[in-house]
Amino acid sequence: MVFWLNKAKKKIKIVGLPKKMGLQEFLHMNEGDGEISYSQNSFVQKAASLMGQPMLERAIQSVITEVKSPSKVIKVADLGCGVGPVPLAVVKLVIENVQKKCEELKWKDNDIPEIIVFLNDLPSNDFSFLFKELLNMDLLKKKEGVPLCYLMTTPGSYYGRLFPKNVLHFVHANYTLHWLSQAPSELYSEEGIPINKGNVYITESSPKIVAKAYMSQFQQDFTKFLICRSEEVYSNGRMLLTLRGRPTSSDAVTWQPWELEIMAQAITKLVSQGLIKEEKLDTFDFPYFGPNEDDIESIVHKEGSFVIENVNTMAQHVAHEIEDNSERAKVVSKFVRSFTESLISRHFGEDVLEPLYEKFTQFTCEHLAKGKPIEHHSVIILLKKI
Ligand SMILES: C[S@@+](CC[C@H](N)C(=O)[O-])C[C@H]1O[C@@H](n2cnc3c(N)ncnc32)[C@H](O)[C@@H]1O
């Protein structure tokens, strides 16, 4: 509720929902390297990044000769870098591939470019743990023939500008651009009443406007992302983006990821047990959208600063090597907890964490017992700046 003074100095009352805190003020993956940390449980994100590795290697090697930049410094940004194995692998692959290309070109000593890797994430990311791990890397020590690599942090949201104009050769963003800047405001009526009650995302029973609102939020956010990067990336520079999307032929109006279906089930159960208030469930909207290749391609074409060099959708079954359903459910639950806990505790409070993820594990086990899949689709897209 806000009060304004009009010209006649009379108070006018504007009624509405209190402004929700922006995602960027609190979202973070679980810190450190403990049992439920993101770094110990991001095996799905790591597998997705491995699928894009050949594209990353080619892109790094291409920008060395194709980008005409004023200095001999290769500048790379890992956006939404988080912590754990993926940003470590990115730094390693960048150094190795610059070195490989220099060897192929027979460049020596002063010809070998230096590298800067900018590690970006929201300010609440565990940058100190990330740097502890990175600075142990052998490749960062000065050695003959190995390009010198400098690491820098760039905290902030990639839905705004992060760098000056024309500075980046290569941008990498793994498993991050499906996070929206915020849940869509159209999920509430003008009076502030939630229209997707009982759900946390698009479901088959949601009003049609729900899927439309999510899709439109993704279009706005992804367009903003492309506009900002189009200023920052050199002509002929590359961007490799891997998103947790949906299968190519699926419909955004009915598709929902398995973990949000189970999450809604677990929260509903705690509502029935009196541990969570119903209105808390009704006002929880997961700030995620699962695009497919067509959604992404059409936004890239419309924005117009990049051409698509490659696009692919790949599927992986999560923790499928574990045969026992209850063991697999525990591993899957820790994986989901490591990236959802900050959101859940901010909205529902810390007290619900243990019972909620216990229920999540139980329902995951039941889901598996019914023979339902636990599958992730990753859309991998390589873009070249015009
Ligand atoms: C699932 S993690 C992926 C981390 C890492 N790239 C990986 O593949 O393991 C998503 C990351 O994106 C970050 N993120 C979400 N929205 C962001 C934004 N608007 N700007 C910068 N980072 C963001 C989150 O804080 C989180 O660290």
Full DSSP string of 177-191: TTB-SS--GGGB-TT
Give the closest residue to 245 by CA, choosing from 174, 335, 310: 174
The whole-angstrom separation of Cα 345 and Cα 174 is 24
Any atom of ligand 1 within 6 Å of the Cβ of 237: no
Six token digits for residue 178: 């499906």
Given ligand 1 and candidates 26, 120, 172, 176, which is best to mutate, with the most ligand atoms within 8 Å of its CB? 176
Phi-psi region of 112 (alpha: psi -120 to 50; beta: other; left: phi over 0): beta
Buried b (16+ CB within 10 A) or exposed e, 253-265: eebbbbbbbbbbb
What is the number of helices (H) and of strands (E) in the chain? 10, 9
Would you say 231 and 161 are in contact if contact means Cβ atoms under 8 Å apart? yes
Q: What are the C-alpha distances in Å from 93 to residues 54, 81, 238, 252?
A: 10, 14, 15, 34
Indicate the SS3 state at residue 354.
helix
Q: Which of 127, 172, 179, 335 to mutate to test the pocket of ligand 1 (most atoms within 8 A of CB)?
A: 179
Three-state SS string over 264-311 comes to HHHHHHHHHCCCCCHHHHHCCCCCECCCCHHHHHHHHHHHCCEEEEEE
pLDDT in tens, 246-268: 999 999 998 999 999 999 999 99
Residue 179 Cβ < 6 Å to ligand 1: yes
Contact by Cβ (8 Å): 341, 36: yes
Burial class from Cβ neighbours inside 10 Å (0-12, 13-18, 19+) for residue 57 reads: middle
CATH class of 2-257+288-321+372-385: alpha beta
Distance of alpha carbon 195 from alpha carbon 189, whole angstroms = 7
The single residue listed with the structure tokens 């809604």 is 264
- What is the token pair recorded at 157? 């949201």
Percent of the chain with pLDDT over 70: 95
Which residues, 6 or more positions from 283, have their beta carbon under 8 angstroms from its beta carbon? 194, 347
297 alpha carbon – ligand 1 mean position (Å):
21
Contact in structure between 285 and 184 (CB atoms under 8 Å): yes
**80 CA → ligand 1 middle, Å:** 3
How far does residue 254's CA lie from ligand 1's centre (Å)?
26
- Number of Cβ within a 10 Å radius of residue 99: 18
Q: What pTM was computed for the model?
A: 0.94
159 touches ligand 1 (CB under 6 Å): yes
Closest CA to 286 of 269, 262, 270: 262
Amino acid at 244: R
- From the list 218, 209, 328, 214, the residue with the least C-alpha distance to 260 is 214
Indicate which atom in ligand 1 lies nearest the CA of residue 28: 25
Ligand 1 geometric centre to CA of 177 (Å) = 8
Q: Which residues pair with 308 in a beta bridge?
A: 383
pLDDT one digit per residue (tens) for the chain, 386 residues: 333 334 444 443 333 334 456 788 889 999 999 999 999 999 999 999 999 999 999 999 999 999 999 889 999 999 999 999 999 999 999 999 999 999 999 998 889 999 999 999 999 999 999 999 999 998 888 888 899 999 999 999 999 999 999 999 999 999 999 999 999 999 999 999 999 999 999 999 999 999 999 999 999 999 999 999 999 999 999 999 999 999 999 999 989 999 999 999 999 999 999 999 999 999 999 999 999 999 999 999 999 999 999 999 999 999 999 999 999 999 999 999 999 999 999 999 999 999 999 999 999 999 999 999 999 999 999 999 99
Long-range pairs of 295-299 with CB within 8 A, sequence gap ≥ 24: 295/215, 295/218, 295/219, 295/245, 295/252, 296/222, 296/243, 296/245, 296/379, 296/381, 297/381, 299/219, 299/222, 299/223, 299/226
pLDDT in tens, 297-316: 999 999 999 999 999 999 99
Predicted confidence at residue 116, as pLDDT, reads 98
Q: Is the CB of 81 under 6 A from ligand 1?
A: yes
Q: Whose CA is nearest to atom 25 of ligand 1?
A: 28
How do beta strands 149-155 and 233-245 pair?
unpaired
Ligand 1 binding pocket includes 175 (Cβ within 6 Å)? yes
